Amino acid sequence: MVAPSTNNTTERSHRAAHDHVRVLQVGAGHIQALADMMFTESSLDLDMKNDLRPNVWNAQVFENLHRFSNYMLYPERGGDSPIINPVAAAVSLSVPIELFDKHAPASEPPIRRVSTTVLLVPSALTLKQLTELTGVLKSDGSFVLTNAADVRKALKAQCEDGRSSWVQDMKALLSDPARFISAKQKAAAQESPKERYTFGCFIQQCCAFAVLVPVTDKSEIERLVRRWERGIPTHAHGVLSNGAQMNREHIGALGFIYRCLCQGFLHRGSCVHVLQWMVSAGVMTPPACFSAARLGHARIGRPSGYGMCMACTVLCVYEYI
Ligand SMILES: [Zn+2]
């Protein structure tokens, strides 16, 4: 077996993890050791610099972005399958979101739930489940889902048996999580005494969409935009070589950009979901070294992620769904 490459950011971090974790363990033990290592690493990770972190700004992230922007709805149909950009199938929705108001008067709590219009971008798993449920072909031989508008409509459509749609479920979950879980548990029990709404079902529901929340504060937008423009300077000379080109005029006209509620953005101030929205909306042009054309050529050769253990693969999948 070939050791993880040190030239690939994901594989390098995986290799570093295994320097701390004994790998000759059964699965559950390995997961526990890995979780302990990640907790320690997270506790020690206190610096907030102007630079982006390598784990949210690398070839792997942009490769995921380019690949997901050309999502094949029916991969088993190969070249005949319609291809969509999931951002174009995203759904706008008004839900109560916890916001931190640094200008709140002392008499009011700084964290409040405010009704906010968010953008729900379906995950790859949600799209896969959607196509499995709706089927592939209509009676006339055409595809059931042919474009992003069809997908958006299907995500909002209630099931024929009366069960709520993906979007209705997500709205209920974000509005009142405790009530949502108890309603799901009741519905599962009514369906069959053996049926249970498990923790796994709940986690899957939480990851069904990337939830993008608008940022309208001008100083916050400027801080984020500068980080993306700056990229990550090379260590040796501090040279800026992988910054993105940001369309400031377009951002000014929109009056907002998005942040994301995924763990990547919460910890690192950037994530593949926000980058994908910005590239799709014409707000960002990726740096030349991470362009679709460049990474298309880079993909010839050994598949990335090679040599990764199952436990770490699962964690990486959760990072990018
Ligand atoms: Zn995200």
The two tokens of residue 89 are: 């199938």
* CA 118 to centroid of ligand 1, rounded, Å: 13
Whether the pLDDT of residue 301 is over 90: the answer is no
> What whole-number percentage of the chain has pLDDT above 70?
81
The pLDDT value given to residue 80: 87
Decide which of 103 and 305 is more confident.
Answer: 103
Average pLDDT score over residue span 75-83: 87
Task: Give the global pTM.
Answer: 0.77
* CA 298 to centroid of ligand 1, rounded, Å: 25
* CA 161 to centroid of ligand 1, rounded, Å: 32
User: 202 near 191, Cβ under 8 Å?
Assistant: no
* CA 34 to centroid of ligand 1, rounded, Å: 22
The pLDDT value given to residue 91: 95
Tens-place pLDDT, residues 199-215? 888 888 888 999 999 99
* CA 191 to centroid of ligand 1, rounded, Å: 34
Nearest to 38 by CA among 58, 61, 21, 23: 21
The pLDDT value given to residue 299: 47
Nearest to 182 by CA among 210, 155, 202, 167: 202
Distance CA 44, CA 300 (A): 37
User: 233 near 239, Cβ under 8 Å?
Assistant: yes
| CA dihedral sign of residues 280, 121, 262, 266 | positive
* CA 62 to centroid of ligand 1, rounded, Å: 13
Tens-place pLDDT, residues 224-243? 999 999 888 776 666 667 88
* CA 142 to centroid of ligand 1, rounded, Å: 34
